[in-house]
Amino acid sequence: MSAPALELDRVSKIYGAKAARPVRAVDAVSMSVAKGEIVALLGSSGCGKTSTLRMVAGFETVSEGAVRIAGREVNRVAPAKRNVAMAFEGYSLYPPLTVRENIAFALKSARLPREEVARRVAEIAHLLEIEPILDRYPASISGGQQQRASLGRALIREADLHLLDEPMGQLEPALRALLRGRIKHFVKERGLTAVLVTHDQTEANALADRIAVMEGGVLQQFASPAELKDRPANLFTGTFIGEPPMNVFQAQARAEGDALRLGLGEGVALDYPAAGFEPAVRETILKRGRVTLGVRPHAVRLDPAGAPAEVAANQWLGDQSHIAASFAGGTLVTVEHDRARLRPGDRIGVRFEPADLHVFDGETGAALSHGGRAA
Amino acid sequence: MDHASPMTRWLKGLALTLVVIFFMFPILWIVLMSFQTNETILRMPPSVVFTPTLENYQALITGKLVSSAGVLEIQFMRNLMNSVILSVCSVALSLLLGVPAAYAFARHKFRGSEDIAFTLLSFRFAPPLLVLLPLALYFQDLGLANTYIGLIWVYQLICLPLILWIVRGYFEDISPDVEHAYRLAGHSWFSTFRRIALPLAGPGIAAAGLLAFIFAWNNFVFALVLASADKQPVTVGALAFVTASGIQYGQIAAGIVLSIAPTLALALYAQRYLVEGLSLGAVKG
Ligand SMILES: Nc1ncnc2c1ncn2[C@@H]1O[C@H](COP(=O)(O)OP(=O)(O)OP(=O)(O)O)[C@@H](O)[C@H]1O
Ligand SMILES: [Mg+2]
């Protein structure tokens, strides 16, 4: 078995370690990226994504832990010797060179034949739709164009690892969607390994084989997009992934005969027959008592016989309705694909199937069960 | 600016003219004086009508100062040469030391780096006389007094902080990611400095070098205290014009013209860089 393309082994980054208030930007992150895999780092601003990439590229020292590229520990290896390509978050084109020269630069340094360089630049330019600006200088092109040029400069190389830091942050949605598909095809076709930083879940879902969700420098979960959605490891991932975000309620669990009764606020209680939960899961939930319930908006069923809720707002987004309702002392959002004829003040009933229910520990937020099965 | 009324434009022109006259008049007057004899300069009332003479320049270049009291040997050309040697060498040394240091301060923040950079800058605020007298004693002991090396060393007090702070601002303006991208393409730290950072900071380095040159050229006290006749630059050498038999205005004027010519030429040639370098230095520093 060949070594993973990239392996982070309890890697931490502490800025200003000796200063009065050190910043732990990355905290004991461990993950392993297989060769040919595309991995997205997803997380809110300031959660340590760029810091992680920079440690992999070698521009930041690794404060703790080990970074291994293709099986070799690179903590003390110069960036030039890591065989890594990177597209930077800010623009980083060399001003005195044209876009074409910038993109071709690494290949020229590697002394590739001129025709080969020209062919590959043309291919990349076509891929990223930057053919018309190839002979312009960085100062005279737009932000989005600079971003694509620096993405091109990274993709053109045949490195062991491609690090892409928000490569499409400046582009409009239509172009993003187009380039997403093309980039994925390009990377997969050549068997490249890529680690991509993004804020955009859609982008992460579309491009990545696996997504690493980070928050506060800590890796929350590293899994495929489907798994992140169906089996979030904790409350943070549960609410972070998915649009609109998961509905969350505090609940008090107790046994009601054979059934499991989840008491929400304002006297609302949900009863689930024993069949809905694995016995062990039911046991755990009862033992915890205080739990947090999560239900994705798409999974909320409208059912006149269900628990009572009152419509607060109803928005038709062109292809789906987002209905916000006050429910059990909180707000519940549900998504309907038909244009629901509901007005603020209307009384509705809602129901959550056991299969759609995520249960988290009320204190730690760790997932206890998904759809009635143990997390 | 383009839509200013004719009146404002006219007033602006007037103001500019006044400023230019104010600053250029002394220079013009000195140039005129340098072509006159002491008698025509001192006549009453002063007049701009005279028969120009090259006498003053001739005296300076041959080193023979003819006055009513007799012939006095002066070493003006030698002083001029000393000025060139001292300024050029000091600036060259400062660039050699200061540019890499500026890069280090711009790119590698370490504990105390800001303090060190500031200490270096503070050499510019310290009154030179405060350090000069003790320095003169040390130099005597070390055998550095009255040597070019010693003077160039002391001139670093003028040139190094200037170059360090101006050039550092230029390096800070370059996005580190430009350099990072170059390093990832397989280049070492040093070749990145040489091939990316240096060319991009080029105009700033030129401006800083020019400024440092002008400051070094104009320096007076260091050389006055630390150098004797054969190592003195023009600024000190000009004292020789004050003789027992009176002040040789014509020759002084010619001396001034010759001694400001190099800096003036440099400044005019590199005006654009200078303004850029100065204003950037002011903002950043
Ligand atoms: N050089 C530095 N010195 C001190 N703190 C830093 C430094 N660089 C980053 N940080 C801090 O480390 C944390 C993580 O920063 P990082 O740039 O990795 O975030 P990010 O996830 O890439 O954010 P964004 O999505 O906004 O780009 C932030 O709190 C940031 O303020
Ligand atoms: Mg970032």
Residues B158 and B98 in one domain: yes
* Best probe residue, ligand 1, of A47, A196, A201, A203 (max atoms within 8 Å of C-beta): A47
Q: Domains of chain A, with CATH numbers?
A: 6-231 (3.40.50.300), 240-374 (2.40.50.140)
Q: How far is CA B184 from CA A105, A214, B68, B198, in A?
A: 11, 26, 75, 18
Q: Which of the listed residues B21, B39, B73 is the one where a domain comes to its end? A: B73
Quick one: B105 and B231 in the same domain?
A: yes
Q: Regarding predicted confidence, which is higher, B260 or B285?
A: B260
Kindly state whether residues B38 and B154 are assigned to the same domain: no
Parent domain of B224: 76-281
At A217, which amino acid appears?
A: G
* Beta-carbon contacts below 8 Å between A and B: 59
User: Is residue B267 one of the residues assigned to a domain?
Assistant: yes
Q: Could you give the 3-state DSSP secondary structure of residue A226?
A: helix
Last residue of a domain, one of B55, B73, B91: B73
B148 and B91, same structural domain? yes
Cut 0.90: pTM above it: no
> What is the C-alpha to C-alpha distance for residues A106 and A111, in angstroms, rounded to an integer?
9
pLDDT bracket for residue B281 (50, 70, 90): very low
**Of A8, A51, A54, which is best to mutate to test ligand 1, by the most ligand atoms within 8 angstroms of its C-beta?**
A51
Q: Go through B137-167 and write b for each residue having 16 or more CB atoms within 10 A of its CB, e for each that does not.
A: eebeeeebbbeeebbbbbbbbbbbbbbbbbb
Whether B214 is in a domain gets the answer yes
Instruction: Tell me if B14 is assigned to some domain.
Output: yes
**CB contact, 8 Å: B185 with chain A?**
yes
Average pLDDT over residues B23-37: 89
For residue A47, which atom of ligand 1 is closest to its CA?
Answer: 21
Residue A191 CA to residue A194 CA, distance in Å, equals: 10
Q: How far is the CA of B183 from the centre of ligand 2 (A)?
A: 20
- Same domain for B222 and B106: yes
Instruction: Note the pLDDT tens digit of each residue in B64-112.
Output: 776 666 677 778 888 889 999 999 999 999 999 999 999 999 998 877 8
Regarding whether B132 and B40 lie in a shared domain, the answer is: no
The shortest C-alpha distance from B84 to chain A (Å) reads 34
Positions of chain A with pLDDT lower than 70, given as ranges: 1
Nearest to A293 by CA among A346, A350, A253: A253
Location of structure tokens 């000009």: B238
Please check whether residues B111 and B13 belong to one and the same domain.
no
CB contact under 8 A, A94 and B189: no
Helix (H) / strand (E) element for B67: namely strand B64-67
Q: Are residues B57 and B81 in the same domain?
A: no
The per-residue b/e assignment along B98-113, b for 16 or more CB within 10 angstroms, e otherwise, is: bbebbbbbbbeeeeee
Q: Which ligand is nearest to the CA of A45?
A: 1
Q: B220 and B117, same structural domain?
A: yes
Residue B1 belongs to a domain: no
Please report whether residue B87 resides in a domain.
yes
pLDDT at A1: 56
Q: What is the mean pLDDT of chain B?
A: 85
What is the whole-number distance in angstroms between the Cα of residue A55 and the centre of ligand 1?
A: 12
CB of B107 within 8 Å of any CB in chain A?
A: no
In chain B, how many domains are there? Answer: 2
- pLDDT at residue B278 tops 80: no
- What is the CATH number for B187? 1.10.3720.10
| Binding site membership of A214 for ligand 1 (Cβ less than 6 Å) | no
Distance from residue A25's CA to the centre of ligand 1 (Å): 6
* Residues B248 and B196 both lie in one domain: yes
Q: A95 and chain B: CB distance < 8 Å anywhere? A: yes
B133 plus B38 within the same structural domain? no
Q: Write the CB contacts of B69 (distance below 8 Å, at least 6 apart in sequence).
A: B243, B244, B245
Residue-level pLDDT at B279: 60
Q: What is the per-residue pLDDT for A253?
A: 92
Ligand number nearest CA of A41 is 1
Interval A2-21: pLDDT, tens: 789 999 999 999 998 877 88
Instruction: Encode pLDDT of B144-192 as tens digits.
Output: 888 899 999 999 988 999 999 999 999 998 889 999 999 998 899 999 9
Q: What pLDDT digit, counting tens, does each position of B189-248 carry?
A: 999 999 999 998 988 898 899 889 989 998 888 888 888 878 888 888 878 777 766 777
B234 interface with A at CB cutoff 8 Å: no
Q: At what angle do helices B113-122 and B76-107 cross, to 10 degrees?
A: 160
Q: Is residue B174 part of a domain?
A: yes
CA distance A41 to chain B (A): 20
The SS3 call for residue A344 is coil
**Does the interface ipTM go beyond 0.85?**
no
- Examine the fold and report which residue of B26, B55, B73 is the final residue of a domain before the chain moves on: B73
The answer on B166 and B25 residing in a single domain is no
Distance from Cα A290 to the centre of ligand 2, integer Å: 36
